[in-house]
Homo-oligomer: A and B are copies of this chain.
Amino acid sequence: MHRHFEDELQQLKDRLVHMGALAEQMIDLAIRSLVERRGDRHPRVFEIEHEVNDLHIEMDERVISLIALRQPVAADLRFLIMSSKLAGELERIADQAVNICQNTAELLKQPLLKPLIDIPLMADAARRMLREGLDAFVRRDPALAQRILDEDDVVDSFKDQIFRELLTYMMSDPGTIARALSLILISRNLERVADHATNIAEEVIYLAQGRDVRHHHEEARLREPRTPP
């Protein structure tokens, strides 16, 4: 019986990792559609999103039935509730990939505004945070999770830099405003991917150390000097 429960927890973990890999693939495809100007990649992203949504529902059902059947306590219970939250974060990351495709579809109606450099780098950073978040979860590695919290600052710097650069385009030529706005929105989508990865990292630290870092990180941010919106 105990052995069986361990297997069930392992299965749950495997499904989450699979879900994470799908979400990462979606971000990758969405950003490649932007960089390569290939809207024909979008249907595949929407297809994977359905898969992620189905997995989210499946995960919630598994967690609820495992708690009901096994009545776990302490660490196992926390792990199960955390798994349910993680599935929610991954599903929201998948939503952001869809949003990137939608913003990209707008952009592809018009000529290229400028060669894209920072956005692909920002996407790499956000995807790395996601991958590391899942690694930290699988290995229960709070030190790795802690590093992810620091990487979030890199993503925020990209966001500010992209914003400032595009603002100069808009100011000097109003004909670029719509396209610049779409790119700014895509950088916001990536920022939210990084935020969800940060949430995953905070849950890992919470689970591993039994201390709640979830809001301390935010508080530190609020104390920092104001950056552009």
Q: Which residue of B lies closest to A216 (CB)?
A: B53
Name A residues whose Cβ lies closer than 8 Å to a Cβ of B.
46, 49-50, 53-54, 56-57, 60, 63-64, 67-68, 71, 73-74, 77-78, 81, 84-85, 88, 95, 98, 102-103, 105-106, 167, 170-172, 174, 177-178, 181-182, 184-185, 188, 212, 214-215, 218-219, 222, 226, 228-229
In the bound complex, residues from chain B placing their C-beta under 8 Å from that of A171 are: 174, 177
Interface residue from B105, B106, B222, B228 paired with A98 (Cβ < 8 Å) = B222
Whether B103 lies near A229 (C-beta < 8 A) is: yes
Whether A77 lies near B81 (C-beta < 8 A) is: no
Closest CB-CB distance, A5 to chain B, in whole Å?
15
Interface residue from B95, B98, B174 paired with A174 (Cβ < 8 Å) = B174
Whether A64 lies near B81 (C-beta < 8 A) is: yes
Whether A226 lies near B102 (C-beta < 8 A) is: yes
Whether B228 lies near A106 (C-beta < 8 A) is: yes
Whether A63 lies near B85 (C-beta < 8 A) is: no
Q: Which of A56, A177, A219 has the most CB of B within 10 A?
A: A177
Whether A229 lies near B170 (C-beta < 8 A) is: no
Whether A226 lies near B71 (C-beta < 8 A) is: no
In the bound complex, residues from chain B placing their C-beta under 8 Å from that of A103 are: 229
- Tell me the complex Cα distance, A212–B185, Å: 30
Whether B64 lies near A78 (C-beta < 8 A) is: yes
Interface residue from B57, B78, B212, B228 paired with A212 (Cβ < 8 Å) = B57
Closest CB-CB distance, A165 to chain B, in whole Å?
13
The 9 closest A-B pairs by CB, nearest first: A53-B215, A71-B71, A68-B73, A103-B229, A171-B174, A185-B229, A57-B212, A170-B177, A106-B229
21 contacts between A and B (CB under 8 A): A49-B222, A53-B214, A53-B215, A53-B219, A54-B215, A56-B214, A57-B212, A57-B214, A63-B81, A64-B78, A68-B77, A85-B88, A98-B222, A102-B226, A102-B229, A103-B229, A170-B170, A171-B174, A171-B177, A177-B177, A185-B229
Interface residue from B78, B81, B214, B215 paired with A81 (Cβ < 8 Å) = B81
